[in-house]
């Protein structure tokens, strides 16, 4: 599979909730998608990811999960965005069912996380992802995030899975560039996407194709400019954008568990209530204060119209 097909910036959308977190705010979700397609700070992103980690997948009900994906597909595709549905599970049968659902509603691809909590070995994960990829004819992006799932894919397993025609990319979020480097060295045509904003440019220097980004919820145009510059080999321009974003990107992932930080920052910009679902707790006063100082450079007006 040509890595260029999946290169670019994919925003890991937050799932907007009403105050108190009781319900999904559909109107605001549509606004967020429109903001990603037509941001005031630069070019729009390549696509969006609905109901990934940043979208609070662990605490949405099944009906909420499927509804968010449906809304993202309907409105994202209308705006020319590639729409990736979060479909992962630590239950292989459920992950396969979600793969079929994503195909039925017209998602362009799925994001399938390494099975969490039950900690399968490499053979178990390889079997799991092959079953998912066989379940429906829609492209699969592997999501390697051992810090959250408790188990991670090795470069060798990713390379074996990359031979499957439906497995088109990996979102690499292991916290270092080592696995990305190993995969790209052995298979430079395979699409590696950074899953960790602060490491996007280092990964792209090794041949990665872009990012599934949290900070692009706030500054989609800037992230797009950085990635586009890196893809063109204009590394000085890419470094400039990276340095403008790095402090905010780090803060979003370290001050509070994701997506608490990004939702708090979006509330400061008038673009979200900041509400999260338990067991997540709202951002502390000290985190909000720190974010307020960092978010000024990403300030953009709220989009008009849904």
Mean per-residue pLDDT, 144-171: 97
* pTM for this prediction: 0.95
Give the CA distances from residue 34 to residues 18, 38, 78, 214, 304, in Å, rounded to whole numbers and listed in that order.
19, 6, 10, 16, 9
Judged against a pLDDT cut of 60, whether residue 28 lies above it is answered with yes
What is the third-level CATH fold of 3-298? TIM Barrel (3.20.20)
Judged against a pLDDT cut of 60, whether residue 16 lies above it is answered with yes
pLDDT tens digits along 164-210: 999 999 999 999 999 999 999 999 999 999 999 999 999 999 999 99
pLDDT tens digits along 74-103: 999 999 999 999 999 999 999 999 999 999
Judged against a pLDDT cut of 90, whether residue 41 lies above it is answered with no
Judged against a pLDDT cut of 80, whether residue 305 lies above it is answered with no
Catalytic site positions: 143, 171
């Amino acid at each position: 599979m040509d890595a260029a097909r999946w290169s670019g910036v994919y925003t890991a959308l937050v799932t907007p909730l009403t105050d108190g977190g009781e319900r999904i705010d559909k109107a605001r979700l549509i606004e967020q998608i429109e903001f990603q397609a037509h941001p005031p700070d630069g070019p729009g992103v390549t696509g969006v990811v609905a109901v990934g980690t940043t979208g609070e997948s662990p605490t949405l009900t099944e009906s909420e999960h499927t509804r968010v994906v449906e809304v993202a597909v309907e409105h994202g595709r209308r705006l020319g965005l590639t729409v990736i549905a979060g479909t992962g599970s630590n239950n292989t049968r459920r992950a396969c069912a979600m793969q079929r659902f994503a195909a039925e509603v017209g998602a362009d691809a799925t994001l399938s996380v390494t099975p969490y909590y039950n900690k399968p070995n490499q053979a178990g994960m390889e079997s799991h992802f092959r079953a998912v990829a066989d379940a429906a004819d829609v492209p699969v992006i592997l999501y390697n995030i051992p810090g959250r799932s408790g188990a991670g894919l090795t470069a060798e397993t990713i390379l074996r899975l990359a031979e499957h025609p439906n497995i088109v990319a990996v979102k690499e979020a292991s916290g270092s560039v080592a696995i990305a480097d190993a995969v790209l060295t052995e298979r430079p045509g395979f699409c590696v996407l950074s899953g960790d904003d602060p490491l996007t440019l280092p990964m792209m220097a090794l041949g990665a194709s872009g990012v599934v980004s949290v900070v692009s919820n706030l500054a989609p145009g800037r992230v797009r400019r950085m990635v586009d510059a890196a893809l063109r080999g204009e590394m000085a321009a890419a470094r400039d954008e990276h340095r403008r974003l790095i402090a905010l990107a780090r803060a979003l992932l370290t001050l509070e568990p994701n997506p608490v930080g990004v939702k708090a920052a979006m509330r400061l910009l008038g673009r979200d209530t900041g509400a999260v679902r338990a067991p997540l707790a709202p951002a502390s006063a000290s985190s909000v204060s720190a974010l307020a100082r960092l978010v000024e450079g990403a300030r953009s007006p709220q989009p008009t119209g849904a």
